[in-house]
């Protein structure tokens, strides 16, 4: 694939995914970029990538990105120990990537098993399933009541109404405590 004609953020995504693949680090693209595979595309300021790693992978991750990304070893260590996201910034494109350690719980395990491989601009990418993207957006927006997140959820429900696994969606919405919000979004979509 000739990346010279592609947008800088796509080059950055390809570089990150290539490195994760080469290091055998399982990952899953999520957030607004994942939305582009299933719903109405919208611009994003960063990429959100869930990575299946342990705190013992700190050196491996740091070495993958230290040459041409801004990455803090101390912040990486804290992110892995505390299970919170880590920002890395590509020196060339100045594009931000959020690396999110996969949580250690049954839902995160199930979510990761259900990820899908999608092709985008000649690149094969592991992407969160549409059901799990809806659930993630419901969880992310429950505190902020983000209008944009709610619009994304309604858009996905409307566009994918016949292809969604509603039993899975309903089960996990209930477990995650967002069942009522899901029902509300369904009614108004």
| pLDDT(1) > 80 | no
> What end-to-end distance do the CA atoms of the chain give, in Å?
38
- CA–CA dist 172, 168 (Å, integer): 6
Task: Identify the pLDDT of residue 148.
Answer: 81
pLDDT in tens, 102-137: 999 999 999 999 999 998 777 889 999 999 999 999
> How many C-alpha atoms does 186 have within 13 Å on its Cβ side?
14
Domain boundaries, the chain: 3-128, 131-188
Is residue 113 a contact partner of residue 106, using CB atoms and an 8 Å limit?
no
pLDDT in tens, 55-75: 999 999 999 999 999 999 999
What six digits make up the tokens of 179? 């069942």
Torsion, Cα 187 147 112 38, to 10 degrees, reads: 70
CATH class of the region 3-128:
alpha beta
Give, in order, the Cα–Cα distances in Å from 18 to each of 7, 12, 22, 44, 140: 17, 10, 6, 21, 28
Supply the pLDDT for residue 4.
Answer: 40
pTM: 0.89
Kindly state the percentage of the chain with pLDDT values over 70: 95
């Amino acid at each position: 694939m000739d990346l010279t004609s592609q947008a800088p953020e796509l080059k950055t995504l390809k570089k990150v995914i290539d490195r994760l693949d080469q290091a055998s680090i399982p990952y899953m693209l999520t957030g607004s970029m994942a939305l582009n595979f299933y719903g109405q595309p919208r611009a994003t300021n960063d990429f959100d990538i869930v990575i299946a790693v342990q705190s013992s992978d700190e050196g491996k991750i740091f070495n993958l990105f230290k040459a041409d990304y801004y990455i803090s070893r101390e912040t990486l260590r804290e992110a892995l120990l505390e299970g919170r996201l880590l920002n890395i910034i590509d020196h060339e494109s100045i594009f931000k990537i959020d690396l999110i350690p996969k949580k250690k719980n049954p839902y995160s395990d199930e979510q990761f098993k259900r990820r899908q491989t999608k092709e985008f601009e000649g690149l094969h990418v592991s992407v969160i399933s549409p059901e799990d993207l809806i659930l993630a957006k419901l969880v992310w927006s429950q505190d902020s009541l983000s209008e944009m997140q709610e619009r994304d959820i309604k858009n996905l429900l409307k566009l994918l109404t016949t292809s969604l696994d509603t039993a899975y969606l309903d089960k996990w919405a209930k477990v995650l405590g967002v069942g009522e919000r899901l029902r509300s979004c369904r009614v108004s979509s």
